[in-house]
Structure 1
């Protein structure tokens, strides 16, 4: 191995500090950046890496794992006795079938493609099914393979340019639906293939909404890859927004909604950077755009709507690590106005993060119970929820520890 190569933390038994240094370097963070994201200093991070400071408590380890987006806690701790996936789910049973459909080379499809209008109706039904289902990945995993193959065939068999562009728009949205299934599963390369193909199909479609949706999802993929990808997340989101802005004065509700969603994405990334003023400025602009939409409008892909802005405010406050503000925004938001079960569960998780930041772990656990009730698959794949639950299984208060352990069993983190 050359001096420039990054060691493999799995090749040899390494101590905690060595693993931390390797994983931090792979995320493109300096010690000062890591320390700052954890409310510490670069000297503190160096002390952990060099062994000057002893291995921290579980609470701190989980915070480090969150910042570094560690998939398996054993990657950081070195313990091979307990493997806990944090920012990746366990891998859905239908993942292999979806992956096979994405990876197939559709050069000579023999089946006759359904009409684009038929595919559009199937997509609409799939989005509705996703929002209604507590086990939304199971539902999507059953629908996606045929949708992907049929949408690819529709593009190949389109005779006229206008038909081909319409088919590309449907194909792009099919990849968007697929990204919701693939996200947080243990196959990051597949996620990027899906995101990139969605962008290409959207560009070929020349459809403003398809282009905006693909940019929105690509921005999320970049941001979820860690701080070294935040600039790329901003670049994609702001480029998509710049493309849409000239269309907004006369835009349809669907185009206005995706533009508003892109504005909020920029605010979300700013909050991850701890840029308070920029984050709230973007949120306020997104809220103004939401108010232009009908009161009962709810975007089936982005969830952008008047109803979602309260949930978005909670997310901004949580990402800024403002516990009191998070709780205040949670009290103002109305989760029951969110018609989507997975999105409502995600909001409950963000509320729980706020309560945890505010020093209210019992309320956080109760809120995670509500998230589990709304959509068990959402909480099962959410790293933030897992972190809270695991942290509280070590609580010194027996009732809290018992409640956290019961929830951990329901989420599949601990054996019954």
Structure 2
């Protein structure tokens, strides 16, 4: 191994502190940054990494895994006998077929007649509807994607005019956007980036403002979820998209206004991840003003942006700022029943559970996670925040809480039945 290469935590048995340092460095975090996100100091992190401090308690280890977005808990603990997927779930049975469709390299002239752009648009509308209404949305979308990807690619190749090609590129970008929802949290980060980049390229070729905004929204999320070293990239994508959309907003239709609102909230989300309280809430206020311009019943099919979602967004901002009391206050003000999307409602419940956990209400957090599971089992199964709370409470002193957490852990596949 070259002397300047990053050590491989699996090459030799190494101490917990060394693993922590490797994973922190790979995320592009300083000790002070990690300490701040943990509510501790950089010297506390240094003490663990150098071995001056012992291995922390389970709840601290799980919190470190959450902050570092560790794919597998064993990456941090070194215990290969207990493997727990956190922010990357088990590979979905339909992942292989979706990957094959994305990676295929068809040549013009070799395909059958492509469907019309209108036909693709109708299929995409049904696919988004199925994603929002099914508790097993990943399975439903995974079944639809391979044919959608192949047909949308064919539509671009067979377009006769420049206008037809732009319209087909818009639909292809949307297919890739739908694919990104499926590929997220799967054990193939390279595939996620291929999908995100192809969505952006197709969107730019389409020259359609709404399509470009959606691709930028998803690209910003991919950057942000890659860790603090990528926050600047997330901000740059969001800022560029908002600058492009800004001249259109005075006369914008609902779709363009909604994607601008979603991007504005996205900027606030990243600011909250940075710990920038004032900036995060300023962006949330701006996004809420955009939401108020939308019809009361409007719900964006990709981002879920709407009037109804702003309460959920407020909970997320408060949670990311690690403000337990404010998280609970915002959760009490939000109305989850108005969110029509099952996976988005489940995600909101998970964010509420994080808030209750921060506020020292673990029993309420577990009850809220149970509601998330009821809304969309496939959402909570792939969510590292939910898994961290469940695993932590499975070790609680309260026998009743341990029982409830263990029962939920079995449903999530974290514990054997």
Per the normalisation by structure 2, the TM-score is 0.99
Partner of 1:6: 6
Equivalent in the alignment of 2:17: 17
Distance in 2, Cα, partners of 1:153 & 1:386: 40
What is the aligned residue count? 416
Q: What whole-Å deviation, never above 9, does each CA across 1:276-317 have from its counterpart, x for those lacking one?
A: 000000000000000000000000000000000000000000
Q: Which runs of 4+ in 1 moved over 4 A?
A: none
- Quick one: distance in 2 between partners of 1:221 and 1:100? 21
CA distance in 2, matches of 1:391, 1:238: 38
Written as runs of structure 1 = structure 2, the 5 A alignment for 1:241-252 is 241-252=242-253
Q: In 1, Cα distance between the equivalents of 2:174 and 2:239?
A: 20
Residue 37 of structure 1: aligned partner? 37
Q: Deviations over 1:242-281 (max 9, x none)?
A: 1000001111100000000000000000001110000000
Query: 1:305-354, CA deviations, whole angstroms, 9 ceiling, x for partnerless residues?
Result: 00000000000000000000000000000000000000000000000000
Cα distance in 1 for residues equivalent to 2:274 and 2:337: 30
Aligned counterpart, 2:98 = 98
For residue 350 of structure 2, what is the aligned residue in structure 1? 349
Q: Give the superposed CA RMSD.
A: 0.6
Structure 1 residue 117 displacement after superposition: 0.3
- Give the whole-Å Cα distance in 2 for the aligned partners of 1:36 and 1:308: 29
Per the TM alignment, residue 30 of structure 1 is displaced from its structure 2 partner at its CA by 1.3
Structure-1-length-normalised TM-score: 0.99
- Matches of 2:228 and 2:305 in 1, distance apart? 25
How much does 1:12 deviate?
A: 1.1
CA distance in 2, matches of 1:330, 1:24: 31
Residue 28 of structure 2 is aligned to residue 28 of structure 1:
yes
- Deviation sequence 1:10-47 (CA, Å, 0-9, x none): 11111101111111111111111111111111111111
Q: What is the CA–CA distance in structure 2 between the aligned matches of 1:111 and 1:30, rounded to whole Å?
A: 53
Secondary structure at 2:80's aligned position in 1? coil
Q: Partner residue of 1:59?
A: 59
Runs of 5+ in structure 1 lacking a partner?
Answer: none
Counterpart CA distance in 1 for 2:230 and 2:65 is 17
Equivalent-residue separation in structure 1 for 2:211 and 2:71 (angstroms) = 31
Matching residue of 1:81: 81
Matches within 5 A, 1:357-372: 357-372=358-373
1:188 aligned partner: 189
Mapping of residues 13-412 of structure 1, within 5 Å: 13-108=13-108, 109-412=110-413
Superimposed CA distance per residue, residues 337-382 of structure 1 (whole angstroms, 9 cap, x where no aligned partner):
0000000000000000000000000000000000000000000000
Q: Give the Cα–Cα distance (whole angstroms) in 1 for the partners of residues 35 and 360 of structure 2.
A: 21
> Is the deviation greater in 31-40 or in 133-142?
31-40
Aligned-pair CA distance for 1:81: 1.3
Task: Output one character per residue of 1:60-93: Cα deviation in whole Å (capped at 9) or x when no partner.
Answer: 1011111111000000000011100000111100
| SS of alignment partner, residue 99 of structure 1 | helix
